[in-house]
């Protein structure tokens, strides 16, 4: 049994639960930025525990950061479904140094985008990622033709790629906003949706 009674195979959450967590996490971020002007979103922002982390100094930065990882993760899943390994799974990219470089460059690139364009991109990628996650059936449990130690199943690869190391699977914005405990307390529904 997984968190809150969610059934798992080898500790892997069902695709529906993965999609539910991603949806809730991104909705949390959208609620945090809702109704704020571009200048307010670009202003320095801290949570009770301190800075947002990963080079994010503002909510605009946090949207860019989460978006960058959603784009990478969507590509990981798409490539795996097609039997190809994504560049981010190569050993050279799976180091703390490379992760920091990606985080920094993703945030810096996002700062260059006006809020309207960043929001459009975030919404489009969010919908595509959720469509990808909700579109899986039994293939979620099948081993993809990807040469990676974590690719024991598509679901295992997704959970590895889409989870912050050492954190509850699939929460991202909630971790940065200091609200992961609150999100983890939201019970899963039996079918994972």
CA 122 to each of CA 26, 29, 98, 113, 128: distance values in angstroms, whole numbers, following the listed order: 9, 11, 23, 12, 10
| 187: pLDDT strictly greater than 90 | no
Percent of the chain with pLDDT over 70: 91
Give the pLDDT score at 8: 54
Q: What tens digit of pLDDT does each residue of 21-62 get?
A: 999 999 999 999 999 999 999 999 988 766 788 899 999 999
Binned at pLDDT 50, 70 and 90, residue 179 comes out as very high
Q: Of the ranges 46-60, 70-84, 148-162, which one carries the lowest mean pLDDT score? A: 46-60
Question: What six digits make up the tokens of 41?
Answer: 């979103």
Which residues in 27-177 belong to E strands, given as ranges?
A: 46-47, 50-51
What's the sign of the alpha-carbon dihedral 60, 58, 25, 79? positive
Q: What tens digit of pLDDT does each residue of 110-154 get?
A: 999 999 999 999 999 999 999 999 999 999 999 999 999 999 999
Give the pLDDT score at 5: 37
Domains of the chain: 3-184 (1.20.120.450)
Give the pLDDT score at 189: 61
Would you say 58 and 172 are in contact if contact means Cβ atoms under 8 Å apart?
Answer: no
Would you say 83 and 144 are in contact if contact means Cβ atoms under 8 Å apart?
Answer: yes
Binned at pLDDT 50, 70 and 90, residue 191 comes out as low
pTM of the shown model: 0.91
Q: Please state the rounded mean pLDDT for residues 84-112.
A: 95
| 98: pLDDT strictly greater than 70 | yes
Q: Which residues of 73-86 are buried (b: 16+ CB within 10 A; e: fewer)?
A: bbebbebbbeeebb
């Amino acid at each position: 049994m997984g968190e809150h009674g969610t059934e798992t195979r080898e500790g892997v959450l069902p695709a529906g639960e993965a999609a539910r967590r991603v949806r809730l996490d991104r909705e949390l971020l959208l609620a945090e930025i809702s109704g704020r002007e571009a200048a307010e979103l670009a202003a320095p922002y801290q949570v009770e525990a301190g800075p947002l982390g990963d080079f994010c100094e503002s909510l605009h930065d946090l949207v860019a950061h989460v978006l960058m990882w959603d784009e990478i993760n969507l590509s990981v899943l798409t490539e795996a479904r097609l039997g190809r390994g994504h560049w981010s799974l190569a050993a050279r990219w799976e180091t703390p140094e490379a992760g920091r470089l990606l985080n920094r460059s993703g945030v810096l690139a996002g700062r260059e985008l006006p809020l309207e364009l960043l929001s459009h991109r975030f919404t489009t990628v969010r919908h595509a990622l959720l469509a990808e996650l909700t579109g899986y059936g039994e293939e979620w449990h099948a081993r993809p033709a990807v040469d990676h130690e974590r690719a024991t199943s598509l679901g295992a690869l997704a959970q590895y790629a889409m989870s912050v190391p050492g954190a509850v699977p699939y929460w991202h914005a909630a971790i940065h906003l200091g609200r992961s405990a609150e999100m983890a307390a939201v019970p899963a529904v039996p079918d994972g949706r």
